[in-house]
Amino acid sequence: MIRTRLTELCGIEHPIVGGAMAHLSDARLVGAISEAGGLGVLASANYKTAQEFRQELRRIRQFTTRPYAVNLNLFPMMRPIDNMEYLDVLCEEGCTVVETSGHELPPELTQAVKARGLVWIHKCVLPRHAQRAQRLGADAVTVVGYENGGATGRWDIGTMVLVPAVVQAVDIPVIGGGGVVDGRGLAALLALGAEGAIMGSRFVLAEDCAIHDNVRQMLCDASVTDTMLVMRAIGATHRVIANEAARRLAEIEARPDAGLEDVLPFVLGEKSREVYFDGNVDAGMCYISQAVGLMSSVRPAAAIVQESVAQAEAILGRLSGR
């Protein structure tokens, strides 16, 4: 059993947090991760209305009675949602952990989170952002290195450097990630001073993740060199699988006059949904970590959690001479 301040804080069994992945982190996947002893995180931005969001929260309870978290997205959105309204809904439905992600931390939202007695985890990019979150009352912070899938930030700092830098900068628990798909990554993060690991890409290949078999096969066949960076031309760099859509987008971004209007048609959510759920693997962006090359099998989310913890325990035991 690996116990850390994070497991105590959130009331979970294992120091593994599921990434709040756009389109994919739904009630079934979140519930499966939490039921296995980790912390599943529902992506609230997936739901257009507070009523849809409430229904999904209630559906989580079909899969687990254990703690789970909700991510409130503070980044600019094509279709903004009212995070204060969603905060009320998640409290009414019994959620006890909130994850925020974004550059700005609205005082009214952070004060409301604290006033409701919720565990607050803030996902940030740099040590100074983690320090600000700590000053505002965050209970823990999450940082992910450059290897991760999806948004990589502007700084291109790898996990090996970023995680200990943040651990050194704050006193609250740090959740680290970026290229973590098994117990080797979990053990490495613990050695770097983190008290939990966030895993997103590995759970894309969970049986509980509602993606098309074509996508599963593409990811199982991928190597560590089969991802690429896109959207850097608009200051929003993301790591994706190197499919036809990503390569076409990279060609457009290489033009000196490339702008948002050129990039947007390739990165619309409907294009990613066509990849994930219709199985048209070249239709749009498929966000995935460089560690896709370490993922070669589809497993239940519970098995991913349990096997990762067992592998980490074995590694830590061997290193300590037990």
pLDDT band, very low/low/confident/very high, at 78 (cuts 50, 70, 90): low
Average model confidence (pLDDT) across the chain: 95
* DSSP assignment string, 191-256: HTT-SEEEE-HHHHTBTTS---HHHHHHHHH--TTSEEEE-GGGT--EEEE--HHHHHHHHHHTST
The whole-number pLDDT of residue 54 equals: 98
Per-residue pLDDT band for 240 (boundaries 50, 70, 90) equals very high
**d(C-alpha 169, C-alpha 127), whole Å:** 6
| Higher-scoring residue by pLDDT: 213, 236 | 213
Q: How confident is the model at residue 320 (pLDDT cuts 50, 70, 90)?
A: confident
Sign of the torsion formed by the C-alpha atoms of 132, 138, 139 and 143: negative
Note the pLDDT tens digit of each residue in 165-206: 999 999 999 999 999 999 999 999 999 999 999 999 999 999
- pLDDT at residue 302 above 90? yes
Residue-range domains of the chain with CATH = 5-209+299-319 (3.20.20.70), 223-287 (no CATH)
Burial class (CB in 10 A: 0-12, 13-18, 19+), 134: middle
Instruction: Calculate the CA 61 to chain-centre distance.
Output: 21
Which residues fall within 8 angstroms of residue 288, CB to CB, at 6 or more apart? 149, 201, 204, 219, 222, 227, 239, 240, 241
Threshold 0.85, pTM exceeds: yes
